Structure 1
Amino acid sequence: MGVYYLKAEQLLPVDLQTAWAFFSSPNNLALITPPEMGFITLTPITEGQEIYTGMLIDYKVKPLFGIPLHWQTRIREVQKPHLFTDIQLKGPYRLWEHTHTFTQTDKGVLMKDEVKYELPFGPIGSVANSLLVRKKLENLFRYRKAAIERIFK
């Protein structure tokens, strides 16, 4: 049992406004998620709509074994254009907090992801994390990194 952390960072060859415009649109999440996860945004998002504090977003996703799940997140905090945090309200995790930060550097934007998560089912969840979940999350972030590199080349 326990809370786990996953961190990733990537240098984007764009300015802060470009990075924010892309990552603050929930519609773009499907573009950086592996196709086998069947990720669909259910909440209607208009073109150019940005996230805001308190925003609820519903998704359908197949995180494990192709089983579709309803995932609902709430945007807990937004500090445009530097940071936003989403938390899971409904989904496979007991706890999910994902903070995205964007820092302008002389070489582009340093994007950092920090995920804090906990699985249900106590010791069984710990075993599942060790055997499966952690690897799936690491693969997801590897996929995202490559997808983002293609998008922002």
Structure 2
Amino acid sequence: MRHTYHSEQWLPYSIDLVFAFFANPENLPRLMPPWQKARIEEAVFTAPPTPVGSAPSSRIEGVIAGAGSRITLSFKPLPYAPMRIPWEAEITEFVWNDHFCDDQLRGPFAYWHHCHSLRSETRTNTSGTLLRDEVKYELPLGKLGDLANHLFVTGQLHSTFAYRHKRTDELLSRQAPRS
């Protein structure tokens, strides 16, 4: 059975900075819990088209992976696990400062589709960016996978995204002043 996980984070940074940060796959291992020891094993990048009406922000650092980019990441599934799990994903949609989506090509899920969408939003007189993540996923093993989702996976997604939110704010605060 397919499941959906939603997450939101408001960040006091410009949309171009937040989008560029998430569109840079080099940041992905930095956003995963340290016990996972995530690393990029292989990457083939397809440059995205230049944004309509403007050049990308001069604050953009590193790689930007557009539609068609493929990244293979590996990580430890549990603390102290002796093995690593490979995860290959492809960016299937990419619209500057709006959204991008990636699909798992090979990895631990039977199905995985993750969309990051952004919009400018002002809160208490501070302009910033609302980041929304929507993950649609399915575990292998049918009913056993559904049980694992109920007992383990939903909680792990929640804690992983909580960690990711904390790290995103920490990392972005080093790159730019708050809006």
**Fold match (TM-score > 0.5):** yes
Q: Percent identity?
A: 34
Q: Which has the larger radius of gyration?
A: 2
Contact 1:82 1:101 in 2 (8 A): yes
Name the residue aligned to 1:129: 149
Name the residue aligned to 1:23: 22
Cα deviation, 1:82-119, whole Å, max 9, x if unaligned, reads: 10000000000000000001111232000000000000
1:45 CA displacement = 7.4
1:128 CA displacement = 0.8
For 1:43, what is the secondary structure of its paired residue?
strand
Name the residue aligned to 1:62: 76
Kindly tell me: are residues 119 and 44 of structure 1, through their superposed partners in 2, closer, same or farther at Cα, counting changes over 3 Å? closer
**Partners of 2:168 and 2:93 in 1: CA distance:** 23
**Partners of 1:63 and 1:102 in 2: CA distance:** 29
Gap regions ≥5 residues in structure 2: 46-60, 174-179
**Partners of 1:64 and 1:124 in 2: CA distance:** 19
Normalising to structure 1: TM-score of the pair?
A: 0.93
Name the residue aligned to 1:40: 39
Name the residue aligned to 1:84: 100
| Worse-matched range after superposition: 72-81 or 60-69 | 60-69
Query: Aligned AA for 1:50?
Result: I
Query: Aligned AA for 1:53?
Result: A
Cα deviation, 1:57-92, whole Å, max 9, x if unaligned, reads: 111112246231110000010011210000000000
Contact 2:76 2:84 in 1 (8 A): yes
1:24 CA displacement = 0.6
Kindly tell me: are residues 57 and 117 of structure 1, through their superposed partners in 2, closer, same or farther at Cα, counting changes over 3 Å? same
How many pairs align? 152
Query: Aligned AA for 2:130?
Result: L
The ranges of structure 1 where at least 4 consecutive aligned residues each deviate by more than 3 angstroms after the TM superposition are 44-47
Name the residue aligned to 1:113: 133
Contact 2:38 2:76 in 1 (8 A): yes
For 1:14, what is the secondary structure of its paired residue?
coil
Contact 1:59 1:72 in 2 (8 A): yes
For 1:6, what is the secondary structure of its paired residue?
strand
Aligned CA RMSD, in angstroms, stands at: 1.6
**Partners of 2:42 and 2:120 in 1: CA distance:** 30
**Partners of 2:15 and 2:44 in 1: CA distance:** 22
Contact 2:43 2:69 in 1 (8 A): no
For 1:152, what is the secondary structure of its paired residue?
helix
